[in-house]
């Protein structure tokens, strides 16, 4: 299940102000963003001379009255990751602003990750002025940040970078001198990002953001991305047809199951999922996808994580593959979410695959997403329809003893290495220490393969990005998620697991916790697994090759101090070198204060990985 926030009330109370009849386009944009995601309180951005005029409008009284602030990550790549983490933790649209060329290209990797993992990030790029673009029409006019034409006698292409992002974003719009058209473009971009839960681009020339627009346009056209397509006769007919088709198959099944995948949550339909699951009889087995973890795993009919050969255990795998009805909700098909493509749905008599764009009932496909890109209805509307029309008494599945996965100790306490902490010990620790409502953020590292071994408490949430798999994601994404949790006024715990090799990619973002400590009363617990290199790569090839080595001499526990943090005040840090130290520390340590960042450097084995790494990646 998605986390239940203790509070969604912003920490600062302000009185509304009367808006003037006209405001700057930049003010309009940020105000519209706040309408697209009313929970948003932070915009991430890196300044450059092509976007600073736009950034100035974040400081407008109109925008600050909306309690929106600007946070500067350490670089553009980190900024894109931070916006991704913020989006997932806040449950909606996030924003990152970069400058032209050098900034947007540094961010493109993070935006591609957000596209791959379905995170609704708006990337705003401050671009060359319209005046400079007009000069390019008269001849060669090269300016900084814009690569020259390969033909030195031809003018540069000012849209060269825009062309690069067409396949990693769902929409790209460029503003110009047409003010009315600009407002429509802004709405098109925001709505498309929200509807698709994927990144979109808004390119704003540096001489446009000060243009004046009528304020009443913000209210004459209320922002609404969730158009109710079910008002259309065709949509109503298809929705009712597919709902009845699915429920008829469910009623007939003897061993039905629900397989909950992550796209329901990532598209913002967790409440609808919860309502449907709560109405389903307990004779229907529940399974979670590896990357989802959006079910209440304490329910009596929850079996475990089905991930093909990487399932929680062999009994979970057998239970799933013996079901005669499988409904996969929010299906996200990729190798990291299917046990290396070993998931098998083919043994069921009826398989229902529900994706935001289509629904398949065995070999019949309902194309929900139309040729114009609009959907007949949303995944959330389908869940609402299923919940409304479901008659639990018609489910014919008989009560039975449903197998439930219970984590088993990963480490034999009588045979532990004396000089490092096995990752299995960290798995065991989390299975006894995770609490309801925890936010768990995992790096793309060997530990992420242990996900099926973890039992998530009620209302906990998982943020990870192993499908796109860009290492270094977790440090800045965790910072963005921490900002989001604090923006919501939530006291939920934030748990981060990070590998040393990945962390060296983006470690400077730890300094942002120091810089912004005064607005982050709820700080994370960070577990840095120091195994002296790229251990997941060592298991694939070259265990002793230099390409899998890093500088293992970093003093991780001292890094926050180097960045200006005061130990004992802003943060606490420890180095734990073996299992005895680990157990003694966590058995004796009082509950940490969330007001201080807790940093644990765990000395791990250079070649030690969770057993599942061998099971999933190293079998031939």
The answer to whether the beta carbons of residues 44 and 94 sit under 8 Å apart is yes
Q: Cα separations (Å) of 312 from 319, 408, 500?
A: 11, 10, 26
* Residues 6+ positions from 552 with CB-CB distance below 8 Å: 500, 530, 532, 533
What are the Cα distances from residue 87, in Å, to 116, 316, 375, 609?
A: 14, 32, 23, 30
- Cα–Cα distance for residue pair 68/53, rounded to 1 Å: 17
Number of helices (H) and strands (E), helices first, in the chain? 21, 21
Check whether 412 is labelled as a binding-site residue. Answer: no
Question: CA-to-CA distance for 362 and 351, rounded, in angstroms?
Answer: 5
Alpha helices in 142-232 (DSSP H): 179-196, 217-220
The three-state (H, E, C) secondary structure of 309-331, written as one string: ECCCCHHHHHHHHCCCEEEEECC
The pairing of strands 69-71 and 172-174 is unpaired
| Closest alpha carbon to 426 in 391, 450, 456, 443 | 450
308 is in an annotated binding site: no
Q: Which two tokens mark 558?
A: 């001292």
Closest CA to 538 of 498, 499, 577, 496: 499
CA end-to-end span of the chain, whole Å? 36
* Residue 588 labeled ligand binder: no
For residue 159, give the 3-state DSSP assignment.
Answer: coil
Sequence-separated (6 or more) residues with CB below 8 Å from residue 257: 284, 285, 286, 287, 303, 320, 323, 325, 326, 327
For the beta sheet containing 350-354, the strands, ordered from the edge strand earlier in sequence to the opposite edge, are 302-305, 285-288, 256-260, 325-329, 350-354, 358-361, 364-367
Distance CA 195, CA 122 (A): 12
Residue-wise DSSP of 96-151: EEEETTHHHHHHHHHHHHHHHTT--EEEEEEE--HHHHHHHTTS----TTSPPPSS
Contact in structure between 211 and 178 (CB atoms under 8 Å)? no
Largest CA distance in the chain: 79
For 46-163, strand residue ranges (E) read 69-71, 94-99, 121-127
Gap between the Cα atoms of 480 and 275, Å rounded:
29
Provide the 8-state DSSP code for 46.
-
Residue stretches of the annotated binding site: 500, 531, 533
- Binding site for Mg(2+), by residue number, is 500, 531, 533
């Amino acid at each position: 299940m998605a986390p239940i926030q203790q509070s969604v009330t912003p920490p600062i109370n302000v009185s509304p102000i009367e808006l003037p009849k006209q405001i700057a386009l930049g003010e309009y944009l940020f105000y519209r963003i706040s309408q697209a995601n009313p929970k948003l309180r932070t915009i991430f951005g890196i300044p450059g001379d092509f976007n600073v005029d736009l950034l100035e409008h974040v400081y407008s009284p109109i925008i600050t009255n909306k309690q929106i602030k600007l946070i500067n990550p350490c670089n553009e790549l980190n900024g894109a990751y931070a916006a991704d983490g913020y989006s997932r933790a806040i449950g909606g649209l996030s924003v990152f602003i970069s400058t032209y060329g050098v900034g947007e290209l540094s961010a493109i990797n993070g935006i591609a990750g957000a596209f791959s993992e379905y995170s609704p990030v708006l990337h705003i790029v401050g671009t060359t002025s319209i005046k400079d673009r007009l000069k390019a029409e008269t001849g060669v006019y090269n300016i900084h940040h814009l690569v020259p034409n390969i033909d030195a006698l031809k003018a540069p292409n000012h849209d060269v970078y825009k062309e690069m992002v067409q396949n990693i974003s769902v929409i790209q719009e460029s503003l110009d001198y047409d003010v009315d058209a600009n407002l429509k473009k802004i709405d098109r971009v925001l709505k498309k990002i929200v509807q698709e839960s994927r990144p979109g681009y808004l390119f704003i020339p540096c001489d446009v953001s000060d243009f004046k627009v009528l304020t009443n346009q913000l209210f004459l056209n209320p922002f609404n991305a969730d158009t109710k397509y079910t008002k259309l006769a065709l949509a109503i007919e298809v929705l009712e047809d597919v709902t009845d088709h699915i429920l008829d198959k469910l009623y007939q099944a003897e061993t039905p199951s629900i397989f909950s995948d992550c796209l329901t949550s990532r598209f913002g339909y967790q409440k609808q999922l919860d309502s449907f699951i709560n109405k389903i009889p307990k004779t229907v087995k529940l399974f979670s996808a590896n990357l989802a973890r959006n079910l209440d795993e304490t329910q009596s009919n929850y079996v475990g994580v089905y991930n093909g050969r990487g399932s929680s255990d062999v009994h979970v795998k057998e239970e799933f593959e013996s079901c005669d009805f499988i409904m996969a909700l929010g299906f996200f098909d990729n190798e990291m979410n299917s046990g290396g493509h070993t998931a098998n749905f083919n043994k069921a008599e009826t398989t229902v695959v529900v994706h935001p764009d289509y629904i398949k009932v065995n070999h019949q496909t309902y194309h929900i997403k139309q040729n114009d890109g609009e959907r007949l209805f949303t995944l959330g509307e389908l869940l609402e329809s299923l919940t409304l029309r479901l008659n639990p008494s018609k489910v014919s599945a008989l009560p039975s003893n449903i197998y439930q996965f219970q984590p088993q100790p990963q480490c034999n306490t009588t045979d532990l290495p004396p000089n490092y902490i096995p990752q299995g010990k960290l798995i065991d620790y989390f299975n006894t220490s995770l609490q309801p409502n925890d936010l768990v953020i995992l790096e793309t590292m060997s530990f992420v393969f242990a996900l099926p071994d973890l039992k998530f408490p009620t209302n906990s949430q998982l943020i990870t990005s192993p499908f796109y798999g860009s290492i270094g994601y977790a440090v800045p994404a965790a910072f963005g998620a921490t900002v989001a949790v604090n923006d919501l006024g939530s006291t939920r715990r934030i748990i981060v697991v990070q590998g040393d090799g990945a962390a060296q990619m983006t470690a400077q973002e730890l300094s942002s916790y120091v810089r912004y400590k005064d607005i982050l009363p709820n700080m994370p617990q960070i577990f840095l697994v120091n195994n002296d290199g790229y251990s997941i790569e060592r298991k694939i090839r070259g265990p002793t090759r230099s390409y899998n080595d890093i500088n293992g001499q970093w003093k991780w526990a001292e890094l926050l101090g180097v960045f200006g943090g005061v130990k004992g005040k802003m943060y606490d840090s420890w180095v734990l070198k073996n299992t005895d130290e680990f157990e003694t520390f966590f058995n004796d340590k009082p509950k940490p204060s969330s007001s201080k960042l807790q940093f644990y450097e765990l000395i791990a084995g250079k070649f030690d990985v969770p057993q599942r790494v061998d099971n999933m990646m190293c079998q031939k």
